[in-house]
Amino acid sequence: MPLLELENLQKDYGGLRAVDDVSLAVAEGAIIGLIGPNGSGKSTLINLIAGSAELSAGRVIFAGEDISALAPDAVFQKGIARGYQEPSLYFKMTALDNVLLPVKGQRGEHPWYAPWRRYWQRDEIKHAEAAAAVLDQVQLRQRFDTLASDLSGGQMKLLEIARCLMGKPRLLLLDEPTAGVAPKLAYDIFRQIARLRDDYGITFLIVEHRLEILFDFADYVYVMHLGNLLAEGGVDEIASDATVREVYFGD
């Protein structure tokens, strides 16, 4: 059974159909690429899965459960985390605080406990250690005390991934994880992604424009065009597909 299934997803903005009858399946433990020209509906599709936009029609099935109607926080609790094209962080908070925010069931979240540090301190230390381990995975451990706004563009992307990991997701949706990042670092980011898949079995659905990097790491690729699914297949298949080349590269 695939981890994520989209059944005939449709999204209308007024008279504009941004996503039109898209069905696809994501196998557990795979790195799936989602490509297509600007405005082809890729980001909208990510929003629909994450619950940030309401479906006009269709169903989202995650691990055998219909999550179509869930709000974003509930989708996150189910195990789907997402990253954005523009790094979305709490820039006035430290890297560590950013990673600690999604932790579930913290004792200090409760208003009766929150004013008394000793009731939640041990709990907090445990979470902070877990957060430090996650920061270590993306090589940000040394910078735990840095304000998120003082990190470099690539580090912000990595911090975003670290924050997603803190929720122990089964599926990570990433919208252009390498946008605005130097080429060398872009490779690093994808290497991290592959490692996270290998070590923790996390599944990835990645929107990406840097096809040369994506094609090195993806297991399967979907191509969108004008809200429709234009093609799908393995990397070699997609790279040599004539219609894909036409809409994407214009030749």
Partner 1 sequence: MPPALLTTSLVNTIQIGSLYALMALGITLTFSVMKLPNFAHAEYVTAGAYAALIVSLSGVLNPLVIMIAAFAVGALSALISHLAVFKPLEGRDVSFYTLILSSFAIGLIIRYILFTMADYFNLFDLRIAIPLRIVLRDGNLILSNLFAWVVPTSVILVIILTLLLNRSPLGREMRALANNISLARVIGIRVERVKNYAWLLVGGLAGVAGALWGLQTAVHPLMGWGAIISVFAAAILGGLSSFSGTVLGAYVVAFSENTVMLFLNANYGLDLAFKPAIPFIIIIAVLLLRPQGFTNLIKRAEELQR
Round to whole Å and give the CA distance between 80 and 63. Answer: 11
Main-chain phi, psi angles of 150, to 5 degrees? -90, 0
Per-position x/- string for 39-78, each x denoting binding to partner 1 as judged by CB under 8 A, each - no binding: -----------x-x------------------xxx--xx-
Q: Which of 101, 194, 235, 239 binds partner 1 (CB under 8 A)?
A: 101
What are 158's two structure tokens?
């990595």
Note whether 204 and 193 are within 8 A (CB). yes
Biggest distance spanned by C-alpha atoms of the chain: 65
Within 172-211, which residues bind partner 1 (CB under 8 A)? none
Minimum CB separation of residue 107 from partner 1 in Å reads: 8
Minimum CB separation of residue 242 from partner 1 in Å reads: 38
What are 95's two structure tokens?
């890297």
Minimum CB separation of residue 234 from partner 1 in Å reads: 31
Minimum CB separation of residue 125 from partner 1 in Å reads: 12
Segment interacting with partner 1 (CB under 8 A) among 3-11, 161-169, 177-185, 222-230: 161-169
The residues near 141 (Cβ < 8 Å, ≥ 6 apart) are 132, 135
Cβ burial, residue 69 (10 Å; 0-12/13-18/19+): exposed
List interacting residues with partner 1 (CB under 8 A): 50, 52, 71-73, 76-77, 81-82, 88, 90, 92-93, 97, 100-104, 106-111, 114-115, 117, 120, 124, 163-164, 167
